[in-house]
Amino acid sequence: MNGLRFERRGEDDYYKVLLHIGSTYVPISDEDIEELKKQSAILGDKLLEFFLDRVGYSSYLKEQIKAELGKLGDPPKQITMLRQSILEI
């Protein structure tokens, strides 16, 4: 994804994955990664909502994520790209 992407870090790092949102990044816990992967396989159009609730812990962060996802196009395309990125972590 262009502006919204995951970065896998080393196994020695406390947070093994960072979510980049434009020029900002948010550490993502192992538990959250596993739950996102699990839910991305079973949730349809509710994936965006679940994703925002799981990693967007402030209203500002949620708005930043929505803005970056909005650049991808319509909601079905956003869901497809998000699911693909989650599963590649």
pLDDT digits (tens, 9 = 90+) for 35-56: 999 998 887 778 888 999 999 8
**Does the pTM exceed 0.85?**
no
Residue range 1-29, pLDDT digits in tens: 457 899 999 888 989 999 999 888 999 99
**pLDDT score of 2:** 56
The pLDDT of residue 57 is above 60: yes
Mean pLDDT of 60-82: 89
Distance from C-alpha of 2 to C-alpha of 17, rounded to nearest angstrom: 17
Cα dihedral value 8, 82, 34, 63, nearest 10: 90
Predicted pLDDT at 1:
47
